[in-house]
Structures are given as C-alpha cells and as structure tokens.
Amino acid sequence: MSDHNWKNAAPEVPEEFHMKFEETLKQIERQKIIHHKKKSPKMMIRILIAAAILCSLAVTTIVAGELFQWNDVLKKRLNPSKEQQESLADQGYIKGIGQSQTQNGVTITLVNTVQDQKLLYALFKIETDDSISMDETMSFEDGLNIKIDGTSTYDMDELGSHGAGAGLAYPEGIPDISPHLQYYEVSFSYSNDYDLSGKTVQMELKNLTQGGDKTEDGEVVAEGVWKFEWTLDEIRSMTKLDVNRKCDFGGYEITVDAMEISPLKYTLYLNYEEAMKVYEDERNRFEYNGDDYGMDLTGRAHIDQIRYQDGTVIKMDYESGGGIGGGEESWDEKKGIVKISGGFAQAIDVEKLEAVHFGNVDSWLTVR
C-alpha cells in the first residue's frame, strides 16, 4: 500500500463558507444566551448540526461550479458555445474529476473526462518540480492500462474490436504549456453495442518517461504508478436519422440508409453491395502497395462541414486540434451494411443538423 499525505487531502472551502458558518454560530450563541434555560443539550447539538447543514447548502452551488470547469485543451478540442458547455455537462457527456496524485516530484491530475457511445476520453494535467523538465517526447512506460469494473479491456470480448490512444496534447492556442506543465490525453473506443453506463473506469499511468515509452527507447525520469478511478454516468443513446438517399462518394453512388449522431460523433450506415464496389478497384484496398493510391471508404466519408436547418455552415477544424474521437470502418455482409464512424471536430447541435459535407469527395448529403 502506498503512503499518502492526508494533510491537504480535504478540498479547499470557499471563504464565504467560513464567514457564513461564523455568523450562524454567533446567531446560535445569541439565541443560546436568550433561551438557555429553555434548551436542553440535545437540542443545542441538533441546532449546531442544522447550522452546519444550512451553511454547506449555502455554498454548494459555489463549490460545484468551481469543481467543474472546462479545461482549455478540451475547449479547443470541441469548441463548444457557452450553451453547449452547460448542456454537455448537464447531459453527462463531460465531467470534471479533479483527482490528483503526487509521486517523486510529479503531480498528475485527472482534469476532465468525456463519455459517449463507444467512446471514452480522459484529459490529464502533468506538473513537475524544478528537477524535472519536460519536452514533446514525454510519455509513460508500457502504454496504457485501462480497466472496466476491474477487468482489463484487453480481456473484454464483449467490447468487440477496440483501440486506445494516448499522447501529449498540443492543440493550438494553449498558453500554459511549459517544461513543467503538460497535458496528456487518453482515448478509448470500441465497436460492439456494449453499454458502459454505471461502470467504473480505472486508468493507470506508470513511470514518466522521456524519449520513448519503453526503457530501451527512452529514460524513466520519475518512477511511480498514478492510479485514477471514476464511475460513468448513463451513456445517452445517439439520435438515429433515416436518410435513405444516394450520395456520390467520389465516383461511387452509394445509398446511405441511416446516420446516428451525438454532439460529439457520428456513424453512417451504407448499403453493403454498393459500398463494396469501392474495393473492387485495388487502389482503394488497404493492402494496396502501388504509387497510384485511391481512397478507402473512411476517407471518402470524412465529414469536414455540417449545415444547420437555418442555413448556417460550420467548418470542422481538425488541423488545429479539433475532435476527440477516432474513425472506424466495419462491414456486415449478413445485415447488408457498412458502418463508418468518426468524431466531429467540434461539438454540434444535434437537433439543428440538416446536412453533412464529405470533404475528400466534395459532396453534400442531406440527412434530415
């Protein structure tokens, strides 16, 4: 069992709490003097307890507001409006965690988490003392260790195909990154319809390294195992739109049967037989080794713009660091569908979406 310094473990209490509590105690003291003969010791204890509860209620809103804040990195990833910042938090997509651990001069804080259908994301802040200077090669030894309710994701066949990615965050316009403060992102996605609502997620980061995530490639600059744990809220269902329209995917007319969307990601359902014609051309196949490359289905279905019902067009800025979800392509010949999944470069308003634009083939698709 690791040693913990509990001296500063309790959260800081706003000054308003102290002032409110002190004033309440003064009021109680005055009442106690006036009514001393009428009050029993048990009654006074009840009053003190009630006063503490009232004071805590008085500052609950303040504390909650301070605990959850959108970190600048996450804001840059999703570019949410003020209304979206509130709604995404209220709907459980975004959470503020604030767990922090310090080992050997390195403090790591789990700042924000994101949850969506088949997607988990965690943003960590890494701070070091003066003896450890960080650069763009910082990582953690042996990659990621992610568990769901105590079981490693590597052993969870119910997730289907899945993958995890991690690395330092360098979206444009983040001012506080320095040799002693960096941000580290972890994302995890999977393919099966497996509900993670209410599950407990555990993530471990082991040994801060420089120059590579293996001891033979880099150097361990701080030993330690930083462990974090949080419970997922109910994961909201995606909105399904019945599209049933053909779209030109760069010379291939393919029927889009449906589209599922959330504020953060999307899944397109394509007609299997029509979509597979893309791979009849060997240039579009994954194993193609020639010089005259074509483009696979995922590339053809890349969304770079959306249009709302009022005519507003939003351009997706992936280049400067937008978006948190990776893409996936899966085929189901029996069901006759090809699924293309991806993440939007910024949070969208699901109820207003009218059309999407596939940038690599310059084609619009009306979905509602």
- In the prediction, which pLDDT does 20 show? 45
Domain ranges within the chain, ordered by starting residue: 6-67, 72-231, 239-366
Contacts of 257-260 with C-beta under 8 Å, sequence gap 24+, read: 257/337, 259/356, 259/367, 260/117
* Residue 349, phi then psi, degrees to nearest 5: -95, 105
Residue 180: per-residue pLDDT:
97
Q: What are phi and psi of 18, to 5 degrees?
A: -60, -45
- H or E stretch covering 16: helix 15-34
* DSSP three-state, residue 339: strand
What is the predicted pLDDT for the residue at 321? 67
Strand extents, DSSP E, 278-335 = 303-308, 313-315, 328-332
Render pLDDT for 272-317 as a digit per residue (tens, 0 to 9): 999 999 999 888 887 777 777 889 999 999 999 999 999 999 999 8
Q: Which pLDDT belongs to residue 358? A: 97
pLDDT of 171 strictly over 80: no
Could you say which architecture CATH assigns to the domain 72-231?
A: Sandwich (2.60)
